[in-house]
Each structure stands twice: as C-alpha cells, then as structure tokens.
Amino acid sequence: MNAHTLIDTTRLWLQRHPRRLTAALAILLLGTGVTAFGTGPLDAALKAMPRTTVVQAVALPDEALAASTDTAPFVLHRSDLTRRDDTLATLLQRLGVRDTGAIERLRREPALAELWRGPAGKLVSVDVDDDGRLLRLQARWLARTDDTTFQRLDVRRASPPHSAWNVRRDSAPLNASVRLASGTIRSSLFAATEAARLPDAVASQLADLLGGEIDFRRDLRAGDTFAVVYEALEADGELLRYGRLLGAEFVNNGRRHQLVWFQPPGSRGAYYTFEGESLARAFLASPLAFTRVSSGYGMRFHPVHGDRRAHLGVDYAAPTGTPVRAVADASVAFAGWQRGYGNVVVLQHTNGRQTLYAHLSRIDVRKGQRLEQGQTVGAVGATGTATGPHLHFEYIVNGQHRDPMTIARDNPGGEPIEARWRSAFVQHAAGMRSQLAAAATLVQASAE
C-alpha cells in the first residue's frame, strides 16, 4: 500500500468514525502526558476534511431581552472612623456623600446622636450611587473596650417615598479571627513590629509580657526574630479592633522566649510559658504602653542645666496626651505640682516601693485614691523643666532610687498552671506551637 492509498483510506475512516478518533486521542493524551509523538500524516488528513458552519437563531423571552439591556446600578461602598471634631456633614463629605437633602434630614435624626457620644473611632460605612446620593449608612462601635458585643446603627433610604428613612439600632456578638505575623529586628522593636504591620495594641502586649525577661532597650540584637498569633475582632466582617495576644515566640541573642494565653473553663485566663510557668508580674515593665527610652538611668549630660549630673529615673519620649499608667496596684501618695517636675504623681506600693510620674500634661487621679495595675494616672506632657514632651519615671525602694528598667524583673508574681489543668494546657500549648511555626514561615519583615 503506497502513501497516497494510506492517506485516502485514513480520510475515509475519519469521516465515518470521528467520535472514535476523539476518544482515542483523549486516552492517548491522558495516558501519555509527557510523551512526544508524530502526527504529520494525520494532521494533513484532518486539514483535508470538509468543514460545515451551522447558524441557528435563538429566541429570547421579552423580559430577558429587556433585562439584558438595562444598566446595572452603580453603588460605591466606603468606610471611615469618626473623629473627635466631626459633624455629620464633615463625616459624610469625607465618605463621598454629596446629598444635602439627606444630610439635612439625618441631622435631625435622634439615633444618629450616638455617633458623637463617647470616644471617637466609631466605624461608619455608607453606600452611595454614582451621583453621590446616600442610599444607606451603617455605624458599628463598642460601648466598652472589653465588650464581646458591638452596637450597630442601620439607616437606609426607604422605598417610595424616597424622602423617608428606616432607622434600626441593635447589638450583635463580635466575631474573633486569628492572625499571624513575624518579623526580624534591625534597629528596634518598634521599627520591626511596624515593618511587620503588627498593630500597636498587639505590639504593646508583647512588650509588656516579655519586658520582665528582655530589656527591649539594651538586650536587643540585630537578627533577633519574633512570631505572634493574635485576635482580630470583627463586626459584620469589618475589623472593629484588635484583641488579645494569643501566643508569641521571641528569639533574643539566641535565647528563645515563648508565651501562650490559657483560660480553663470557668476560670480567669493568664499568660504562661510553654512549660506552664506564670508570666504575670507584680509590676509592668513600663508606664507607657509602647514607646522608646530617650534618656536612661545614671549619669548624663543635662539638656537644660548643661552639666553632667545623676539622672535618677528614665525618660520616655512620647507625644503630649499619651496615657500614662500605674505599673502596679497602689495608692496615690501625691498628685500635684512640684517645681521642676511640673505636674507629678507619686504612687505608694507595698513593701516600701514607690513610683513617680513627672512632666504630665494632666493629672487624672487624686491623693489617697486606690489604683489597679494599668489604670491611667495622667498624660504625657512637658510641664516643669522640660525641653519637650516626655515622661520622667522613677522607681524608689525604701527611699533609695533603683533603675526603673529592672522593675519588672525585680518583682515577679503569679502562680504556675494548676495540676488539674496540666493535661489541657499541654494540648493547648502544642497547638500554639504549630501556629507559631506557621507564623515564623511568613516573609520576615525588615525594619531598616
């Protein structure tokens, strides 16, 4: 059989059995995915096959045809947080609303007064059309920062007549999701957590909890790493605030520091090492949630008097108004003005220990008042003899000044995990190890 006869025979077979050819090719391709084979004569035969084009009209129902020609409505969704000096007009203008009629009508709506009560920072979302016309407004906020539910205000334009608005106020539970982050120290903890996009609220928890083991001003080394697992609290899918640090690992100068939050059923939770030792401290490491030390304890050149003299405390650089907190349970021994210290608060703790907070822009406590650890005593300022806003902090034991940077290490506290919870804790800690290992595999942040 010559080549021409073979091609004619193949063409005839293909015309009679096209489906068999398709099935055969499919099996061949599936079974020999990495095999090369020759198809020269076959390609020629396929090209020679006759081709037929079929055109058929398809009738559409009238309503489907009408729907296909309609333009979908354009709705823009935007969100922002309320600010301390906001009005309804300035807030909606920032959100892209150009609807003077709606603004004027909603300004008289009593329920919207909730947006301006209490602290700023309420999450407000709007839906507007392509003309900037307000279609819907939703606001979500927490009545208290430790709430597990959020408040929700829903305001939407009613069906005809469009001048009316439906207003509804209710509450709903927050949904907690778990987030991971990791980073590498290049210069400071603050720079590294910022590069890792770790929220300040979570970074401050990390600094507080490990401040008794790591001096974040003196002990950090370039190349130190951290990994964290933390909560994000959401309302209707929108982030409302960050929650608790759930677990962390910090490798400082080759030494591994780990922590995990554990809360047995029906009990108060606490932080522990992975071995079950308590991380609770009688004293916080710092009176500010998260800042940098601008002047340490000991001899220094005085920026105002221009000479070298003993600096009996630590200065923390921070913006005016930054909250200052009590580092431990205490009673207020003094609250008022003291010459070079400006506005100052002195707290009396147990066993002859005192702490002093100076240059405050305001004082939020009174003499004799009982305070709990973490409670606000005032705000950072520059009163008295100061070249700029900062907090001067002193730690005194039986009348003798001590280095405030050692305050958390000198005052350990807390009990190890109870024996009855040991098995559950071990299981929980194992799960956290896995999550931290996953966090550590993330791209390591670089803080220049």
**What distance in Å separates the CA atoms of residue 217 and residue 320, rounded to the nearest whole number?**
22
- Structure confidence at residue 313 (pLDDT): 87
pLDDT band for position 1 (cuts 50, 70, 90) = low
Return the structure tokens found at 426: 């071990």
Does residue 61 lie within any of the structural domains?
A: no
185 and 225 in contact (C-beta within 8 Å)? yes
Contacts of 219 (CB under 8 A, 6+ apart): 252, 253
- The string over 273-290, giving b where at least 16 C-beta atoms fall within 10 Å of a residue's C-beta and e elsewhere, is bbebeebebbbbbbbbbb
Higher model confidence: residue 71 or residue 370?
Answer: 370
Residues 156 and 210 in one domain: no
- Structure confidence at residue 147 (pLDDT): 81
Does residue 130 lie within any of the structural domains?
A: yes
CATH number at residue 389: 2.70.70.10
Does residue 65 lie within any of the structural domains?
A: no
Residue range(s) defining the domain that contains residue 310: 292-410
Residue 6 has pLDDT above 60, yes or no: no
Return the structure tokens found at 136: 């819907």
Return the structure tokens found at 151: 């408040």
pLDDT band for position 99 (cuts 50, 70, 90) = very high
Residues 167 and 186 in one domain: no
- Structure confidence at residue 162 (pLDDT): 61
Domain count, the chain: 3
Pick from 253, 244, 245: which is nearest to 216 by CA? Answer: 253
CATH number at residue 161: 3.10.450.350
Torsion angle (degrees, nearest 10) of CA 356, 360, 365, 368 = 30
Residue 411 has pLDDT above 70, yes or no: yes
Choice among 237-251, 277-291, 299-313 with the minimum mean pLDDT: 299-313
Residues 87 and 182 in one domain: no
- Structure confidence at residue 95 (pLDDT): 95
Residues 433 and 392 in one domain: no
Does residue 60 lie within any of the structural domains?
A: no
Q: Taking the model in full, what pTM does it have?
A: 0.68
Task: Indicate the pairing of strand 445-446 with strand 175-184.
Answer: parallel
Residues 305 and 157 in one domain: no
Does residue 158 lie within any of the structural domains?
A: yes
Give per-residue pLDDT as tens, 146-174. Answer: 788 999 999 998 876 566 899 999 999 99
Residue 219 to residues 203, 210, 267, 405, 445: CA-CA distances in angstroms? 17, 12, 35, 11, 20
119 and 81 in contact (C-beta within 8 Å)? no
- Structure confidence at residue 118 (pLDDT): 86
